[in-house]
Chain A
């Protein structure tokens, strides 16, 4: 059995981090970015060549170093500029998350360091993804951002948001408050890829509000080591026929601690939700939570938590379904274990050696059909699987 002391992972002292950071200059031309930084960004799906991107936002420590919309119908800027530009925006801040929620939201309120504002205008169909990157380079910095995303009525948008740290960084804290609004009939794909450091702690606090006929598809991918990560974005399906789909792919190497969940409130008839989580531990701890709360008849939800222990570690699946009235239809499927020996031997009977068989099965396990993943990410998943296997040996 595996014993871990996760106290250092779950109890974070804000006083251990600096709330100030040296500002960085704005960079107009992204080709001027040093490759030591841009290489890290590429790992999380952010391409400085901006090929096939509708816009780009990059924040390094406390500074917005680049923000630009490259297409009609989409706004991309730092949150402080956005608040100056749009008087109404202040009403969106702290609407579904209270700053008093915990000490992290409080830090984001009292010591904010920018964050992004991304908005698709009513009816705009933004074909190419908007990319954003939140990056920590200063040792020991606590980066507290506040992000707002608005998909206006009947618009369509895909955001790829990558978070990472400088390769030299040892410790850091990332606090990200994100408020996402999907208006009537809008569709938002939101793909978040994390690549933090082995001792970096991460506390995203996210609320998603979806109106009638709106669709949110949220993908979360964390394949590389992270000190600790704890998040449980809450989604309110607040209109008839609103849909939420949440996929997460998690890999915990030794000493990584991931507590990742999704909570969905199904508040209107015809709302539908799906939470799918695939988690692999190779010595680390993963708590995969999923919670659905059905408040009206005619809502539908399915939750699927699957975890593989490839080596010692902890895999804790917590699927929860709460029905408030008859007529809610919710189900879940959870499984935790090792790879079935029969599957390995089946592939070996086709000539694959044991390593090849295991990596083929693991790759399949992580291969959730994710809509709109940037190409190259499949290669990243393969790379993570290979590294995971090295860890196993």
Chain B
């Protein structure tokens, strides 16, 4: 699905990511751990192609295509979807209209998607205008539900979300990634599992999201270097026990 090779990135002339190698196979969910300022969000912004994140070396391949220098909207149309942590407010654009735009030419039932996220009351509001942290998460996921990307990049999906909504959020992420256990009638669970292709890269620094979604692998980003790649829960245990600094020592 996604292959990142020897990727180095600068922001404002300052190196942020250093020779990153990463592979997310079809159908897998990976967790990206790292302390604040380690470059997690920068990696995500580089994958989607935002300006200001200058690739100085290396290559990003998505679904077999080199997307390293592709415009943002072409990456999105190929199937990259992002849940941003601090998306901008767009005055005068109603949330429901943006959700419909996300679906492009596919038919979409905005109301029932919003129902799933308990977000119906926000559809008439301007995109992100005076949304709380938790409301932003739900708005982002609602847009992704309409967009139906192949690879989902989630930036700190649990931050600012209250306990009640985090369960809901986890369920929606699982639906988005076709990891929900409940299946529509007539479809055998294992049949569904076989055809599952959606992948995800989930950024977290607390790891709380692991209580709600399942992960195939974890990686640790520290000072712009990818230091570790193994079972996500195992990494989380190490980080909780010893902190990031000790944790990454084993590979450095």
* A residues neighboring B (CB under 8 Å): 340-343, 345-354, 357, 360-361, 363-368
Interface stretch of the complex, out of B57-65, B87-95, B160-168:
B87-95
Task: Find chain B residues with CB under 8 A from A354 CB.
Answer: 71, 73
Q: Does B147 contact A (CB under 8 A)?
A: yes
Closest chain-B Cβ to A166's Cβ sits at a distance in Å of: 34
Q: Contacts A341-B51, A350-B98, A351-B102 hold; do A363 and B92 have CB atoms under 8 A apart? A: yes
* C-alpha gap A151/B72 in the complex (Å): 54
Residues A351 and B73 in contact, CB atoms below 8 Å apart: yes
Task: Find chain B residues with CB under 8 A from A343 CB.
Answer: 88, 90
* C-alpha gap A347/B101 in the complex (Å): 9
Closest chain-B Cβ to A359's Cβ sits at a distance in Å of: 11
Q: Contacts A346-B88, A364-B90 hold; do A353 and B126 have CB atoms under 8 A apart? A: no
Contact with A along B18-32 (1 / 0, CB 8 A): 000000000000000
Residues A364 and B72 in contact, CB atoms below 8 Å apart: no
- A–B pairs, 14, beta carbons within 8 Å: A340-B88, A345-B51, A345-B72, A348-B72, A348-B76, A351-B73, A351-B77, A351-B104, A352-B73, A353-B73, A354-B71, A354-B73, A360-B93, A361-B93
Task: Find chain B residues with CB under 8 A from A366 CB.
Answer: 92
Task: Find chain B residues with CB under 8 A from A368 CB.
Answer: 92
Per a CB cutoff under 8 Å, which of B50, B76, B126 touches A350? Answer: B76
* C-alpha gap A363/B92 in the complex (Å): 7
Task: Find chain B residues with CB under 8 A from A351 CB.
Answer: 73, 76-77, 101-102, 104, 147
* C-alpha gap A364/B128 in the complex (Å): 13
Residues A364 and B76 in contact, CB atoms below 8 Å apart: no
Residues A349 and B76 in contact, CB atoms below 8 Å apart: yes
Per a CB cutoff under 8 Å, which of B71, B77, B91, B104 touches A364? Answer: B91
Residues A350 and B93 in contact, CB atoms below 8 Å apart: no
Shortest Cβ distance from A365 into B: residue: B92
Closest chain-A Cβ to B43's Cβ sits at a distance in Å of: 15
* B residues neighboring A (CB under 8 Å): 48, 50-51, 71-73, 75-77, 81-82, 84, 87-88, 90-93, 98, 101-102, 104, 126, 143, 147
* C-alpha gap A304/B88 in the complex (Å): 20
* C-alpha gap A346/B85 in the complex (Å): 12
Closest chain-A Cβ to B72's Cβ sits at a distance in Å of: 4
* C-alpha gap A220/B45 in the complex (Å): 41
14 new A-B contacts, CB < 8 A, other than A340-B88, A345-B50, A354-B73, are A346-B84, A348-B73, A349-B48, A349-B73, A350-B98, A350-B147, A351-B101, A351-B104, A361-B93, A363-B92, A364-B90, A364-B93, A365-B91, A366-B92
Task: Find chain B residues with CB under 8 A from A348 CB.
Answer: 71-73, 76
Question: Which label, helix, strand, loop or mixed, suits the secondary structure of the B interface?
Answer: mixed
Task: Find chain A residues with CB under 8 A from B126 CB.
Answer: 364
Task: Find chain B residues with CB under 8 A from A350 CB.
Answer: 76, 98, 101-102, 143, 147
Task: Find chain B residues with CB under 8 A from A352 CB.
Answer: 73, 101
Shortest Cβ distance from B147 into A: residue: A350
Closest chain-B Cβ to A142's Cβ sits at a distance in Å of: 38
Residues B82 and A349 in contact, CB atoms below 8 Å apart: yes
Shortest Cβ distance from B72 into A: residue: A348
Closest chain-B Cβ to A275's Cβ sits at a distance in Å of: 17
Closest chain-B Cβ to A367's Cβ sits at a distance in Å of: 4
Task: Find chain B residues with CB under 8 A from A341 CB.
Answer: 51
Task: Find chain B residues with CB under 8 A from A340 CB.
Answer: 88
* C-alpha gap A252/B129 in the complex (Å): 27
Closest chain-B Cβ to A348's Cβ sits at a distance in Å of: 4
Closest chain-A Cβ to B121's Cβ sits at a distance in Å of: 18
* C-alpha gap A364/B82 in the complex (Å): 22
Residues A342 and B101 in contact, CB atoms below 8 Å apart: no
Closest chain-A Cβ to B117's Cβ sits at a distance in Å of: 16
Closest chain-B Cβ to A256's Cβ sits at a distance in Å of: 22
Closest chain-B Cβ to A120's Cβ sits at a distance in Å of: 32
* C-alpha gap A193/B165 in the complex (Å): 47
Residues A346 and B51 in contact, CB atoms below 8 Å apart: no
* C-alpha gap A367/B124 in the complex (Å): 13
Closest chain-A Cβ to B55's Cβ sits at a distance in Å of: 16
Shortest Cβ distance from B77 into A: residue: A351
Task: Find chain A residues with CB under 8 A from B101 CB.
Answer: 347, 350-352, 360
Task: Find chain A residues with CB under 8 A from B50 CB.
Answer: 345, 349
Task: Find chain A residues with CB under 8 A from B73 CB.
Answer: 348-349, 351-354, 357
Per a CB cutoff under 8 Å, which of A346, A357, A361, A365 touches B87? Answer: A346
Shortest Cβ distance from A357 into B: residue: B73
* C-alpha gap A365/B129 in the complex (Å): 13
Task: Find chain B residues with CB under 8 A from A360 CB.
Answer: 90, 93, 101
Task: Find chain B residues with CB under 8 A from A347 CB.
Answer: 90, 98, 101
Closest chain-A Cβ to B127's Cβ sits at a distance in Å of: 8
Task: Find chain A residues with CB under 8 A from B91 CB.
Answer: 364-365
Closest chain-B Cβ to A211's Cβ sits at a distance in Å of: 34
